[in-house]
Structure formats: C-alpha cells, structure tokens
A = this chain, B = another copy of it.
Amino acid sequence: LEQVAELAGVSRSTVSRVVNGQTGVRPDVRRRVRQVIEETGYQPNMAARALAAGHAGIIGLVIPSAVASLFADPYFPRLIQGISDGANVHDQTLTLFVFHSPLEEEKLNARLSQAGFLDGVIIASSHFNDPLIPHLLESETPFIVVGRQDQFPQASFVDVDNFNGAYAATSHLLRLGYRRVAHISGPLDMVAGVDRLGGYHTALTDRGRAAEPDLVTHGDFSRAGGYIAMQRLLHLPPEERPDAVFVASDQMALGAWQAMREAGLDAPADVALVGYDDLLPADGELPGLTTIRQPVRRTGAAAVDALMDIIVNGLNPPRRVILDTHLVIRESCGALLRRTQ
C-alpha cells in the first residue's frame, strides 16, 4: 500500500517517516502524506514492519498451568486488567498464554522464544522454580516475573510488599491487645505465602512474643483451605485457642469465617480476623473484613513499565519493583468496636 501513498507525491521512505512520526520531514509534506493516508485508509502491515524493524510491539503474558485459580479468585482478572492498561499505554499488543497442562507448557515454551514475535514476556507466577525462567534467561528474551524470585537473582520482578503487609496486619492485631494471634498461611511453595508468614513471625518476635508453632496453620489461598485451617485452630484446647487470626488471603478469611460461624462464633466478638488482598466485593459476604490492600492492577501496569524498560535498555541490571500495601481497617479486627466502647 505504500505504492498508493507514494502515488501522492513522495517516496516510500518519507511515507515511512511520517507514519512512524520521525523527525526530519517538512511540515507541508507531512500534512500531504497524512491526508493521502486518510483518504486511502492505509494500514501498515504489521508482519512486514516487525520483520524489517526487528520487533513486533507484542508482549506475552504467561499464566502457568499451576494457576487453577484463574476463575476462583478475582486476582488474575484484575492483574490482566492492569497489564492490559499498561500495554495500551505503551502501544503494545498483549498476547495471552494460558497453560492447562505441562504438556501444553512444553509446546508453547517454544513459541515464546520464537524470534521476531514476542518482544518480551510477563510471567504471572509466584511459584518457585518455574522452568520457564531459566529458559528465558538463557535465550535472553526480555521478561519480568510478577512475584519475587529468589532463586534467580538475574530475573527481574515486580511484587507487592508481602512481608511488610503481613507485618502491619499482625502488628495491628498485637496493638489491639490480642494475646494469641494465629496465622493461616498461604502455600509455602509460593513467595507470597512465605513472605506473609515471615512478616507475621517478625512482627511477633519484634514485640517479644514467642512464635507458637500450633498457632500457624497452612492453607492454599483458597476458601476451602481457610475453612479447614480455621477448623484446626478451633480444635485446639480452649486455653490454647487464638483470640485473633491473621489470614493470608481474603478468600481464606471467607472460609475461616464460615468455619467460625458453623462453630457458633463470630468476628471480632470471639476471634478477630484480618485478611489479605482487599479483593472482596463490598456487596458480598464479609464486607467488614479488615485486610491488607495490595494494588493488583497497578502491579500489572508496573510490570509492563518495567518490561518496556528491559526491552529498550537490556535485561541488566535486573529490575526490582516492590509496590506498597496498606492496612484497611474495618470491623472484623475489633478496632472500631473498641473505639466506640
């Protein structure tokens, strides 16, 4: 189609310059070319452009098969929104790779490193030892992981400050005077799970409390996991039972609350509750859950920002972005109750 545009005065190079907004074209020429483009409805061919320029303006988002929660949790939709926002801002096209089985994973890994296709990759996974990471590292594909990556110091990542979020949640409970603050943790093969547990522990020891192993029980971020974990806590002998629980995700807090109600208990009257995520709808269950808000959508946008930086300036040094979290106080922790008493 450049022929067509050419038929209106200038050479293809000039048209190319105009299309790509490059400097060094006389204003009147630029205007004329613009007009012809309008009239002819010319659309540049992306494939040709990608081939000649060496990059396609496409970034990939990889969601590993381990993430079954794609539809059980509002986290991923939110993250995708943020990433999509970022992609739009940077004029990139977003491609989505959702793995359903390790088999597909194998097959698509190849496509990911196919040259001339993806400019960069975002991996939405905070699992340890994602096999994709060394793969990308080796092929020098620009990529960034959502979730801290300890094992690969050269991998760039963006994450929320899970440690300090958990620290704040636990401290809040401690400050309110609760004596036995328990924790329902996330899965310990995810950084988010480990970091939140770490924040809980440190908050405890910083206040001179001994960490009691019985007060820590592990869930998997799901509602069902929180339900079972809370049941374990409630089965403790009465004097060992917690009077407050910091739960590592809102979904688990929902399950924990359900277990409490089935045992005839309520929050914060019997056991205070603090969650993590702030991803519960305000018109749903447990709208009064005190929780740690993490900026999911901004995380996605930040991932794209960092990735673009990597694409332009190279993989080194690794980018590390940590986004702040903060405590949102509602009813379930008992703080409001005390104030009005």
Contacts and interface: CB of A to CB of B under 8 A. Distances in A.
Interface of A: 43-48, 50-51, 56, 58, 61, 70-72, 74, 76-78, 80-81, 84-85, 88, 93-98, 100, 104, 107-108, 110-111, 113-117, 223-224, 227, 254-255, 258, 281, 283-285
A81 B67 CA distance: 12
A100 to B, nearest CB: 7
Nearest to A100: B85
A282 B111 CA distance: 37
A140 to B, nearest CB: 13
Contact of A94 (B51, B76, B85, B95): B95
A333 B337 CA distance: 39
A301 to B, nearest CB: 11
B98 A284 contact: no
A64 to B, nearest CB: 13
Contacts of A113: 43
Given A81-B98, A88-B104, A281 B44 contact: no
A259 to B, nearest CB: 11
Contacts of A95: 58, 93-96
A76 B93 CA distance: 19
